[in-house]
């Protein structure tokens, strides 16, 4: 039950007045009219005295604490003062503020615990990913150094394997640097108008050998694309990086003897880009996590077969740097589609001039 200082003062004043009036009324020297007048004066006097007492002794101090609490919330510690701030029901308000601050602090604690868990997981993943190529290269090199009778052919083969491991290490480090810069927002997107059809066909040629090994057919839709191509305004090199990663994943995780489809479709002032495979699909519990760093759906996959888990995270940041969002749609047994949108140039004829997004620094 919430009772304000005014209600408490009124109740106490009435109680005191009733007692005093009763005593005066039953007295032999006081008439009824005088008793009523005495009761009114007594109520008013008691109300003022008790109300001022509550304000002076209790509520003024609580309001002063509340004013200090507001300064603390604004981090204005130098402005803390004992200035009186009258507001109704300060006890209830103070309780609500304390509860609100406690809930907010608990959320901050929970978020810090979550970030700490992610940090531990990230460090463990980085350590594992770095150790694999390092230990491999180290093993091949020490084998050659420890055995002087190694023939030239074996020495050359081991050196090549060590070089491949170090190349993998270099790629991993470069990916880590890239995603770190993208997350900090220091990468500048050099936007220019270019033909998206030509870029997709170029990537098809680059990945043709890998697709042939899995007997996967690469297809660009719709088939009746305009001869002038489909022009977008974006960073060509970064979008090329995104498409290579998405198409490569579609080839890798799609069905053998299947097909990978890249669809370009107008969507208002943008072009919707979708990459679809006919693989087994992604379970629902993994859909919200596939863009996390080092996240693998199949934890048993090696780095060579499953990748480092940085590719989709990099794609996500590049697409978001283009003011878009990458989305995933997948059904078990029906394949997976990843899609995003790119803005069309306002004037395709004169939009070939390179523009830069507002950002600080450069990759």
User: Of 60 and 14, which is predicted with more confidence?
Assistant: 14
Distance in angstroms (rounded) separating the CA atoms of residues 201 and 199: 5
pLDDT in tens, 285-297: 888 888 887 776 6
Is 359 within 8 Å of 183 (Cβ atoms)? no
pLDDT of residue 355: 45
- Asked if the model's pLDDT at residue 339 lies above 90, the reply is yes
pTM higher than 0.85, yes or no? no
pLDDT in tens, 343-355: 998 875 544 444 4
pLDDT of residue 35: 66
* Cross-strand bridge partners of residue 341: 272
As given in the structure block, the two tokens for residue 6 are: 């005014």
pLDDT of residue 350: 45
Distance in angstroms (rounded) separating the CA atoms of residues 16 and 49: 12
Taking alpha carbons only, the member of 24, 93, 12 closest to residue 51 is: 12
Q: Rg of the chain's alpha carbons, rounded to an integer? A: 37
Is 251 within 8 Å of 304 (Cβ atoms)? no
pLDDT in tens, 114-161: 878 767 776 776 776 778 788 888 888 888 888 777 788 888 888 898
Q: Edge-to-edge strands of the sheet including 327-330?
A: 217-221, 259-267, 270-277, 336-343, 327-330
Mean pLDDT of the region 213-235 = 84
**Chain-wide mean pLDDT for the chain?**
77
Mean pLDDT of the region 250-255 = 88
Q: 240 falls in which pLDDT band (50, 70, 90)?
A: very high
pLDDT in tens, 263-281: 999 888 899 999 999 888 8
pLDDT of residue 289: 81
pLDDT of residue 57: 59
- Reduce the DSSP state of residue 330 to 3 states and report it: strand
Helix (H) or strand (E) holding 311: helix 311-321
The full DSSP string for 215-259 is TPEEEEE-TT--TT--EEEE-HHHHHHHHHHHHHHHHHHS-TT-E
pLDDT of residue 180: 78
């Amino acid at each position: 039950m919430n009772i304000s200082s005014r209600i408490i003062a009124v109740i106490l004043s009435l109680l005191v007045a009733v007692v005093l009036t009763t005593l005066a009324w039953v007295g032999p020297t006081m008439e009824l009219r005088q008793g009523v007048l005495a009761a009114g004066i007594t109520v008013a006097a008691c109300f003022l005295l008790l109300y001022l007492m509550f304000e002076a002794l209790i509520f003024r101090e609580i309001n002063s604490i509340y004013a200090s609490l507001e300064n603390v919330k604004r981090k204005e510690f130098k402005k803390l003062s004992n200035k009186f701030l009258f507001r109704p029901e300060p006890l209830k308000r103070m309780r609500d503020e304390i509860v609100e601050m406690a809930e907010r602090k608990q959320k901050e604690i929970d978020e810090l615990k979550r970030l700490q868990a992610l940090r531990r997981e990230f460090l463990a993943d980085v350590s594992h990913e770095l150790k694999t190529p390092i230990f491999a290269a180290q093993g091949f090199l020490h084998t050659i150094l420890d055995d002087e009778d190694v023939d030239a052919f074996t020495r050359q083969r081991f050196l090549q394997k060590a070089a491949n491991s170090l190349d993998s290490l270099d790629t991993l480090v470069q990916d880590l640097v890239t995603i770190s810069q993208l997350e900090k927002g220091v990468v500048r997107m050099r936007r220019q108008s270019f033909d998206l059809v030509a870029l997709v066909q170029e990537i098809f040629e680059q990945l043709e050998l890998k697709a042939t090994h899995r007997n996967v057919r690469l297809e660009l839709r719709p088939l009746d694309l305009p001869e002038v191509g489909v022009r977008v305004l974006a960073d060509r090199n970064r979008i090329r990086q995104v498409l290579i990663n998405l198409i490569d994943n579609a080839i890798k995780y799609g069905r053998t003897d299947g097909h990978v489809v890249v669809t370009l479709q107008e969507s208002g002032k943008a072009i919707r880009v979708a990459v679809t495979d006919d693989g087994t699909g992604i379970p629902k519990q993994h859909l919200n996590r596939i863009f996390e760093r080092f996240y693998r759906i199949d934890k048993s996959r090696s780095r060579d077969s499953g990748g480092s888990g940085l590719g989709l995270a990099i794609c996500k940041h590049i697409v978001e740097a283009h003011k878009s969002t990458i989305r995933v749609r997948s059904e078990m047994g029906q394949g997976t589609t990843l899609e995003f949108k790119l803005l069309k140039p306002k004037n395709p004829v004169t939009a070939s001039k390179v523009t830069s997004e507002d950002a600080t620094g450069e990759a």
